[in-house]
Structure 1
Amino acid sequence: MTSTVTTKDGVSIFFKDWGPKDAQPIMFHHGWPLSSDDWDAQLLFFLQHGFRVVAHDRRGHGRSQQVSDGHDMDHYAADAAAVAEHLNLRGAVHIGHSTGGGEVARYVAKYGIPQGRVAKAVLVAAVPPIMAKTEAYPNGLPISVFDGFRKGTADNRAQFFRDVAAGPFYGFNREGAKVYPGVIDNWWRQGMMGSAKAHYEGIKAFSETDQTADLKAMTVPTLVLAGDDDQVVPYHQGAELQAKLLPNPTLKIYPGFPHGMLTTHADVINPDLLAFVRG
């Protein structure tokens, strides 16, 4: 069986589908500017516990088609829906990190619940309800922060990606932090596989998309996880607001954990994810 699906607007989306086909499915949604490879620690962990695991590369990212258009939350969710429908996932748990958390929120609200495909959701260091400062969310980050992301991506994407991975993403810029050069290299590798245009335009998607309505529509049990030393998506603006807007939330904040805690602290996060999925 091919490991791609073609969306309704003709885009080829790469996915992984591992484990028993009759087992409970868990679908993973990666962050910017990465790929499904960022979920290695979770995919192998849940496989070992008997689950079916699915992860895809967002359009313009990883091994999916580098198309010119559609780098917005609506298309991200529609692409995820194309994978879920192609594999006929039912009773699935959808887990999203960072931008992938926004993708999960839009998918669950627009497709997962209406189609009866989703049982639970998990938002990890996720971007909803919105990262950028607006009238509705005056404590958001100034747009200049995201203009800096755009400048870094446009001027020297390779060096910018190295700096993000070596610095704030994993908290490797903190005094006394244990730095993993291989993790930095892997982040850079994943990022550089993708399209500069998709990455540039995706910054608007993850920073300026107001997902208040998506969160309010997520009636399934939803686990919200974040680290209180997240330098990318501040937990006061992300996780804490998500817990206030979601109908059925469980919130957990990890002291000292960074944005990329799914990699650096998989030994702590994975058992908590497993307990929620099984609970």
Structure 2
Amino acid sequence: MPFFSARDGTSLFYRDWGNRNGTPIVFSHGWPLNGDNWEKQLVFFANNGYRAIAHDRRGHGRSDQPWEGNNVDTWADDLRQLIEHLNLKDVLIAAFISSCYPYMEAKHFTANGQDGKGVPSEVFDHFRDTMLQVRADFFIEVPSAPFFGFNRPHVTKNQGLIDNWFQAGMLASLKAVHDTTYSWQLDYTKDVSELDIPTLVFHGTDDQVVPIDTGYAAAKLLKNCTAVFLDGAPHATPDLRADELNAELLKFLEK
């Protein structure tokens, strides 16, 4: 299996699928999952002539579980090192999919003069406390309800997705999944507003994890943005709305 070593010696696992001479598209997963979460996208783009790549972030999946480095700056540096390791050129990595950027905490909407609905600070405290006390129970509760939207009356629960999410979450380092929650409380306005490359924002309007208002805020800040807001879609669009996501990504990339 392919691994590479980051500068601090951390071994990181990655998938490198499709046409090695094709345009590379790189996917970076979220909490508390790993690169397997992008399988539907990896297969789709590999079948369409792209070189499709996804790694397991440090502390997740098959990668090492170091005590330090569970923060945005280190994740970005790890990703840059992967790109350098594979000698990738003209890499496509320009989509915010159900993303927490530029901010998701309620206080940042207020601080930035936005009327959007953010996540109260006590929710993040609850996540951290519950993970430390009863991680297994919590990692059943999250996919069973808000992550996939299975708590909505019109949605049919898929036990396989719940079990797969639980397995990925429990495979990850407790330290990593705990520390990651602090990154959700930061304000990335400056970083997002400075991006001038074409960028896709893809967000479900019924996202119960990262509010849709975060997607709206990103679309306003980005200088060169294509925004797709899926009516009624949950947070887990790569799983539950994969066909629509793949089609929008392909259309965006082929412009």
TM-score range for the pair, normalised by the shorter chain length: over 0.9
**Cα offset for 1:77?**
0.4
Distance 2:240 2:71 in 1: 28
Counterpart code for 1:38 = N
Counterpart residue number, 1:251: 227
Counterpart code for 1:277 = L
Counterpart residue number, 1:111: none
Choose from 125, 128, 153 the match for 1:150: 128
Counterpart residue number, 1:104: none
Distance 2:186 2:77 in 1: 15
Does 2:238 correspond to 1:274? no
Distance 1:130 1:55 in 2: 24
Give per-residue Cα distances to partners, 1:189-218, cap 9 Å, x unaligned: 11111100110011101x122211211222
Counterpart residue number, 2:137: 159
Asked if 2 retains the 8 angstrom alpha-carbon contact of 1:73 and 1:209, the reply is no
Gaps of 5+ in 2: none
Choose from 185, 188, 193 the match for 1:216: 193
1:74-153 equivalences under 5 Å are: 74-94=73-93, 121-132=94-105, 133-134=107-108, 136-137=111-112, 139-153=117-131
Gaps of 5+ in 1: 95-120
Counterpart residue number, 1:239: 215
Give per-residue Cα distances to partners, 1:64-110, cap 9 Å, x unaligned: 1100001110001001111111011111111xxxxxxxxxxxxxxxx
Distance 2:13 2:218 in 1: 29
Counterpart code for 2:229 = I
Distance 1:242 1:60 in 2: 27
The 3-state SS of whatever aligns with 1:247 is: coil
Identity rate of aligned residues, in percent? 42
Distance 2:195 2:87 in 1: 20
1:34-45 equivalences under 5 Å are: 34-45=33-44
Distance 2:246 2:19 in 1: 20
> How many residues matched?
250
Asked if 1 retains the 8 angstrom alpha-carbon contact of 2:18 and 2:47, the reply is no
Asked if 1 retains the 8 angstrom alpha-carbon contact of 2:118 and 2:211, the reply is no
Asked if 2 retains the 8 angstrom alpha-carbon contact of 1:35 and 1:190, the reply is yes
**Cα offset for 1:137?**
4.0
Counterpart residue number, 1:265: 241
TM-score calculated relative to the size of structure 1: 0.87
Distance 1:82 1:136 in 2: 34
Does 2:166 correspond to 1:188? yes
Give per-residue Cα distances to partners, 1:83-141, cap 9 Å, x unaligned: 111011111111xxxxxxxxxxxxxxxxxxxxxxxxxx010110011222246247532
- Aligned residues: CA RMSD: 1.2
The 3-state SS of whatever aligns with 2:9 is: coil
Counterpart code for 1:215 = V
Counterpart code for 1:22 = N
Moved more, 74-83 or 140-149: 140-149
**Cα offset for 1:277?**
1.1
TM-score calculated relative to the size of structure 2: 0.95
Counterpart residue number, 1:53: 52
